[in-house]
């Protein structure tokens, strides 16, 4: 590999997934890489990902699954950096990966802590200057260099760098470090900063009688509607809470709530979708049907849910499939599949996993992550206005964008 950065001073702000990778890759060249992190340690958010197991990628990466203003842009990124590329980098770092039957990738150790410890070791080996407990308060572009205002223990310094990687994250889970404090500095450099809102969080609705299902989990197809028009649909596990729904089955839709504040949003939860085909076959052949309707529903749903749906549909629990009337069946389907819940809000930044908003992707190159406005400035991870669903899509993007930026810093003419 040819390194074009001899003697170059490179600053990376933020030791999350994106910043750690950018620093590691950039340190393979001849420049001096400094990684600023205002937490006491690196990878604080990484530690809590995947419930402590770090779900780092997914076999089903697809541009259409990302919330992104430009599908072509995210497609170019995924073409350049897919699962194979991620696995290769992790393997080289000494972090072998495994995947679940449905294609979700984790470290072999199934431990986010192990991932963070290995990454920290690699940073030190690579000669990255790690400056933890150090806040970058501001940056600007002056006389051909990036000027950073740095605060370590109230000792404030002004430092200069040739290249700057902004990997300071979004605003989700602010107690883990990312508070969106550097978006104004990016705006100061001429970048657009689109409205920030939380994503991948619970959705609050008027549950009405469905409150009776509180605490129950379902695998369901959930859709969100704006003035009757469907904005999106997702399949996954959800839990009924006091205020609405939580879990991957709704989290993938929560960004729509932030994007359409105070508008007429409704949620529809199809509790039967994954099982309906099998049930419908049975219902179609009433003559052969042997069990009660309750018995049929119990194959897929908990008794509490079955009794709730039957009572809402005004069907006696002992009703045999053979005796079900068409009108009763329609009522059951309406309750269990075609319900509509008025949306009252979504989780705020404190309980939502990612951020939408930030710098539009149109201002960043999808293969090098260099700013199209300021040469030598790189924007990676959640700085960009983009979000994926649950399942490793966000870490894939954060790691991948950091890696591509770091590679470009070393070898802008010849990415290896
Ligand atoms: C509970 C939870 C679980 C998740 N689970 C998954 C999962 O399993 N799979 C998945 O794909 N995604 C998951 N995510 C999302 C994923 O963690 C993020 O998308 C990803 O970490 C974003 O990486 P990043 O490097 O852009 O930002 P961050 O990880 O937020 O890192 C940014 C870093 O910059 C530092 N920083 C910010 N401002 C400054 C400053 N001014 N000076 C110095 N340092 C600064 C912060 O302290 C932070 O360490 C989860 C998120 C949460 C909250």
* CATH, residue 367: 3.50.50.60
Nearest ligand 1 atom to alpha carbon 20: 25
Q: Is residue 26 part of a domain?
A: yes
154 in the same domain as 297: no
Q: Decide the pairing of beta strands 57-58 and 163-166.
A: unpaired
Are residues 269 and 206 in contact, defined by beta-carbon separation less than 8 angstroms? no
Q: From 296, 327, 346, give the residue that closes a domain.
A: 346
Residue 401 Cβ < 6 Å to ligand 1: no
Same structural domain, 194 and 207: no
Residue 415's pLDDT is what? Answer: 35
- Name the pLDDT band for 7 (thresholds 50, 70, 90): confident
pLDDT tops 80 at residue 4: no
Which atom number of ligand 1 is nearest to the Cα of residue 55?
8
3-state secondary structure of 256: helix
Q: Domain boundary residue among 346, 372, 390? A: 346
> 3 in a domain, yes or no?
no
The share of the chain scoring above pLDDT 90, in percent, equals 88
- H or E segment and range at residue 356: strand 354-358
Q: How far is the CA of 167 from the centre of ligand 1 (A)?
A: 9
Q: Residue 416 above 60 pLDDT? A: no
Q: What is the pLDDT confidence band of residue 3, given thresholds at 50, 70 and 90? A: low
C-alpha 229 to ligand 1 mean position (Å): 33
| 97 shares a domain with 180 | yes
pLDDT, residue 301, reads 93
pLDDT digits (tens, 9 = 90+) for 19-56: 999 999 999 999 999 999 999 999 999 999 999 999 99
Residue 182 beta carbon below 6 angstroms from any ligand 1 atom: yes
Higher-confidence position of 3 and 371: 371
Q: Average pLDDT, stretch 215-226?
A: 97
Does residue 415 form part of some domain? no
User: Is the CB of residue 201 below 6 angstroms from any atom belonging to ligand 1?
Assistant: no
- Pinpoint the alpha helices (H) of 134-287: 183-188, 248-251, 255-259, 273-284
Q: What is the pLDDT of residue 296?
A: 87
Ligand 1 center to residue 17 CA distance, Å? 7
- Asked, for residue 2, whether it belongs to a domain, the answer is no
Same domain, 226 and 168: no
Q: pLDDT at position 2, please?
A: 60
Residue whose CB lies within 8 A of the most ligand 1 atoms, among 45, 137, 246, 352, for a mutation test: 45
Mutate to test the pocket of ligand 1, among 358, 398, 400, 403 (most ligand atoms within 8 A of CB): 398
Residues 97, 125 within the same domain = yes
CA-wise closest residue to 394 among 352, 363, 351? 352
CA of 384 to the centre of ligand 1 (A): 13
Q: What average pLDDT does range 82-88 have in this prediction?
A: 98
Regarding whether 334 and 372 lie in a shared domain, the answer is no
416 assigned to some structural domain: no
Kindly report, residue by residue over 378-413, the tens digit of the pLDDT. Answer: 999 999 999 999 999 999 999 999 999 999 999 875
Burial class (CB in 10 A: 0-12, 13-18, 19+), 315: buried
Residue nearest to atom 51 of ligand 1 (CA): 353
Q: Is 22 in the pocket of ligand 1 (CB under 6 A)?
A: no
Per-residue pLDDT tens for 313-351?
Answer: 999 999 988 888 889 989 999 999 999 999 999 999 999
Calculate the average pLDDT of the chain.
Answer: 94
At 37, phi and psi to the nearest 5? Answer: -145, 125
pLDDT tens per residue, range 142-192: 989 999 999 999 999 999 999 999 999 999 999 999 999 999 999 999 999
Residue 63 lies in a domain: yes
Sort 327 into a burial class: Cβ within 10 Å, 0-12 / 13-18 / 19+: exposed
How many residues in total does the chain contain?
Answer: 416
> Rounded CA gap, 204 and 36, in Å?
37
For 384, the token pair is 């960009």
Counted domains in the chain: 2
123 and 145 housed in the same domain: yes
| 294 CB within 6 A, ligand 1 | no
Domain shared by 367 and 320, yes or no: no
Q: Encode pLDDT of 90-104 as tens digits.
A: 999 999 999 999 999
- 260 and 291 together in one domain: yes
Whether residues 192 and 206 fall in one domain: no
How many angstroms does the Cα of residue 178 sit away from the middle of ligand 1?
Answer: 7
- Give the side-chain half-sphere CA count within 13 A for 76: 13
- In this structure, which residue's CA is closest to atom 37 in ligand 1? 168
Q: Are residues 174 and 257 in the same domain?
A: no
pLDDT in tens, 59-73: 999 999 999 999 999
DSSP state of 127: T
Q: What is the spatial distance between Cα 396 and Cα 18, in angstroms, rounded to a whole number?
A: 9
Residues 211 and 199: their CA atoms lie apart, in Å, by: 24
Residues 29 and 172 in one domain: yes
Does ligand 1 have an atom closer than 6 angstroms to the CB of 376?
A: no
- Locus of tokens 């549909």: 313
Range of the domain at 336: 202-346
Strand, helix or coil for residue 225: strand
Q: Which of 346, 367, 399 is the last residue of a domain?
A: 346
Asked, for residue 129, whether it belongs to a domain, the answer is: yes
pTM above 0.75, yes or no: yes
- Nearest-atom number in ligand 1 for the CA of 136 is 42
Percent of the chain residues topping a pLDDT of 70: 97
Nearest alpha carbon, ligand 1 atom 9: 392
Q: In the structure encoding, which two tokens stand for residue 326, read together?
A: 């068409």
User: What pLDDT score was predicted for residue 321?
Assistant: 85
In a domain, 327, yes or no: yes
């Amino acid at each position: 590999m040819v390194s074009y950065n001899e003697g170059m001073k490179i600053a990376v702000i933020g030791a999350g997934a994106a910043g750690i990778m950018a620093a590691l890759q950039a340190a393979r060249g001849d420049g001096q890489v400094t990684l600023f992190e205002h937490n006491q340690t690196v990878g604080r958010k990484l530690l809590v990902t995947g419930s402590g197991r770090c779900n780092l990628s997914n076999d089903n990466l697809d541009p259409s699954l990302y919330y992104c203003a430009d599908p072509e842009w995210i497609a170019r990124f995924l073409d350049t950096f897919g699962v194979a590329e991620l696995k290769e980098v992790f393997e080289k770092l000494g972090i072998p990966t495994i995947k679940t039957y449905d294609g979700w990738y984790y470290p072999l150790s199934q431990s986010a802590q192990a991932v963070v410890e290995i990454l920290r070791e690699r940073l030190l080996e690579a000669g990255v200057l790690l400056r933890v407990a150090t806040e970058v308060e501001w940056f600007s572009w002056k006389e051909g260099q990036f000027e950073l205002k740095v605060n370590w223990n109230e000792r404030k310094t002004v430092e200069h760098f040739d290249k700057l990687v902004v990997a300071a994250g979004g605003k989700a889970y602010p107690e883990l470090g990312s508070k969106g404090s550097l978006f104004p500095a990016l705006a100061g450099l001429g970048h657009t900063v689109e409205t920030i809102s939380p994503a991948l969080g619970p959705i609050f609705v008027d549950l009405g009688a469905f409150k009776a299902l509180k605490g129950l989990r379902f695998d369901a197809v959930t859709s969100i509607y704006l003035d009757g028009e469907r904005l999106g649909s997702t399949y996954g596990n959800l839990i009924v809470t006091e205020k609405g729904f939580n879990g991957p089955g709704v989290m993938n839709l929560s960004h729509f709530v932030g994007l359409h504040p105070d508008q007429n949003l409704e949620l529809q939860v199809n509790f039967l979708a994954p099982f309906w085909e099998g049930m419908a076959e049975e219902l179609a052949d009433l003559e052969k049907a042997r069990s009660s309707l309750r018995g049929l529903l119990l194959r897929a749903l908990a008794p509490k849910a079955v009794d709730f749906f039957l009572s809402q549909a005004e069907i006696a629990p002992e009703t045999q499939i053979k005796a079900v009337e068409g009108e009763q069946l329609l009522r059951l389907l309406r309750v269990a599949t075609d319900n509509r819940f008025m949306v009252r809000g979504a989780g705020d930044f404190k309980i939502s996993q990612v951020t939408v908003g930030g710098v539009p992707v149109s201002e960043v190159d999808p293969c090098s992550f260099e700013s199209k406005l300021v040469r030598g400035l790189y924007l990676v991870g959640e700085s960009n206005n983009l979000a994926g669903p649950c399942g490793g899509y966000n870490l894939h993007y954060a790691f991948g964008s950091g890696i591509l930026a770091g590679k470009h810093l070393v070898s802008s003419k010849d990415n290896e």
